[in-house]
A and B are shown apart, each in its own frame.
Chain A
Amino acid sequence: MSRYEVRFGGFGGQGIVTMAVILGETVSLIEKKQCVQTQSYGPEARGGATKSELVIDDVEVDYPKVQEPDVFVAMSRAAYLEYVDGLKDNGILIIDEDLVEVEGDLPDGIKIYKIPATRIADVDVGVKQATNVVMLGALTAITGIVTPEGLKKQIVERWPRFKDTNLKALELGLKAGKEAVPTSA
């Protein structure tokens, strides 16, 4: 894979930074590819638009930040509006459909996937805090950036105490991603 750019946006407290970190850990430590993770947030501890990014490449990553994301995962309206610019032509937009509506003009050929990640975490997993893991599962099924096995391994490694909850969230996210039918803008 040549340079591939992933952007996550949401509000502080949703686990936006954690999503990119665990994906980065999987890419770097388990699947042994080059990647750099960065983030951007304000001084607030909770709330406010938060952005977290991952750049993956076969060779050493030079410029560490995302310029034109291949995929943008939006989990709040504020973050969608602030960070949707720059999405690559024919790129992928994944939104939490209960929190984000597609607004404004999008580049040509964007595929939009609507995943009710917060609802799945709340109702089916029973733990709202697992929303980001549900979304990671969906992202993995839709893009194939990492293997489900690799991600599973890293989730267990990172959160041994919350293994069952997170693996359930991951499974449901993978399923939602597999079943999601893309629409165009």
Chain B
Amino acid sequence: MPKRIMFTMGDIACAEGALSAGCRYFGGYPITPATEIAEWMSQRMPELGGAYVQYEDEIASITSVIGASWTGVKAMTATSGPGVSLMLEAVGLAVMTETPLVLVNIMRGGPSTGQPTRGQQGDVMQAKWGSHGDYQIIALTPASVQEMFDQTVQAFNLSEKYRTPVFVLADETVGHMRERLVIPDKKKLKLEYRKQPTIDPSEYLPFKPDDDLVPPMALFGSKYQFYATGLTHDERGYPSDKEDVQIRLITRLNDKILKNADKIIDVERFMLDDAKIAVISYGTPSRSAKKAIRDAREQGIKVGMLRLKTVWPFPEEQVAELASEVDHIIVAEQNMGQVYYMVKAFAAPTPIHLMTKPAGMPQLPNEILDKIKEIKSI
């Protein structure tokens, strides 16, 4: 058993968060910079009576996680961008079959094999649009070791509540940095579990939603008989090529996320109350921004930050509200601009300034400070 207070890595905090959330199945294929999650799980899972399986590749890893989830266990995998590329077909299957699972992406430099030991935030749009078809996804963006724990717990809660795959999108710096981690007392953690059917098996419709748009989930091997497929299906789970079935299903799969966006989205408002300039950031660059904002405040510049802890569903309302409060918005992210386009869509006509850095080190605080000063002088 690890100690309740540790000085440890983001990756290990993520694994411990998953275990505290009740995860008892990990199927994966190690990859830098997410290897430590698999390594930690391989030691801890047997101690807790769970299963750790290392597969031949990422495709087998995530499909095994889907299968495990249908047996009723909370299940996850962890990888990096190249692994996510291989998993994306199955992410679509998990969305369509409404399978709760957590997929951790410790983002490294890309495209392709890129820079394994260096960070980047190049996979934000991949998480949203990587699998084919029209769907919503949930993606959380932690910025510290403690948040790697807390938001992994949250990822499991959301996946169970909405029966959907949830991404934890952390950049390499957050995954590999060490900080103090406090593992909360089990009794203090609020954990969600998927709804299971209670009605008579003869009346069971596996994809008939409750009022919250989420159907109760029967488990493989239970007394309920059902069919789960990636084909468009009706409430009985049977494939259908009818237009109304497709429209109803796809609308519901989107709505169960979008209509609950206010309950899913988490942001931090930092020094925004009197701000004229706002920085929007997430992950490690948000820590550079905090330092830059503190320094700018000392020079009398009214600046603050909207830190996104959730990037999908996108915090549309929070960004629109911010745009009505400030004169300028700077988007600082460790890529060529991805969240930038979403901010542009919801913050118009407030001027949006992109500050990118598609490299292993996040923006330096003084680089963000220089940008803030440049905008101030406009």
Contacts and interface: CB of A to CB of B under 8 A. Distances in A.
A64 B288 CA distance: 8
B208 interface: no
Interface in A79-98: none
A63 B117 contact: no
A28 interface: yes
A146 interface: no
A29 interface: yes
A40 B176 CA distance: 10
B192 interface: no
A20 to B, nearest CB: 8
A36 B179 contact: yes
Nearest to A3: B291
Interface string A13-31: 0000000010011001100
A132 B361 CA distance: 26
B297 interface: no
A147 interface: no
Nearest to A32: B180
A64 B290 contact: no
A24 B178 CA distance: 8
B176 to A, nearest CB: 7
Nearest to B289: A62
Interface in A34-78: 34-43, 61-65, 67
Given A28-B180, A29-B180, A65-B361, A38 B173 contact: yes
Contacts of A35: 179-180
Contacts of A38: 173, 176-178
B291 A63 contact: yes
Most-contacted residue by chain B among A24, A34, A61, A63 (CB, 10 A): A63
Contacts of A43: 32, 116-117
A21 B287 contact: no
Main secondary structure, interface of B, reads mixed
Contacts of A29: 5-7, 180
Nearest to A154: B7
Contacts of B176: 38-39
B180 A64 contact: no
Nearest to B5: A29
A35 B7 CA distance: 9
Given A40-B117, A42-B117, A67 B364 contact: yes
Contacts of A40: 117-118, 360
A28 B179 contact: yes
Given A28-B7, A62-B291, A63-B288, A37 B365 contact: no
A24 B366 CA distance: 25
A64 B7 contact: no
A62 B295 CA distance: 12
A62 B294 CA distance: 10
Contacts of B288: 62-63
A41 B32 CA distance: 12
Nearest to A35: B179
Contacts of A25: 7
Contacts of A64: 173, 177, 284, 287
A2 B63 CA distance: 49
Nearest to A38: B177
B324 to A, nearest CB: 27
A21 B117 CA distance: 18
A37 B177 contact: yes
Contacts of A63: 287-288, 290-291, 364-365
A35 B145 CA distance: 11
Contacts of B180: 28-29, 34-35
A24 B7 contact: yes
Nearest to A27: B7
Most-contacted residue by chain A among B7, B32, B176, B366 (CB, 10 A): B7
Interface in A123-172: none
B117 A36 contact: no
A65 B290 CA distance: 13
A25 B284 CA distance: 21
Interface string B313-341: 00000000000000000000000000000
A64 B9 CA distance: 13
7 contacts: A25-B7, A28-B180, A34-B180, A40-B118, A62-B365, A65-B173, A67-B364
Which 3 interchain pairs have the tightest Cβ spacing? Answer: A37-B178, A62-B290, A62-B291
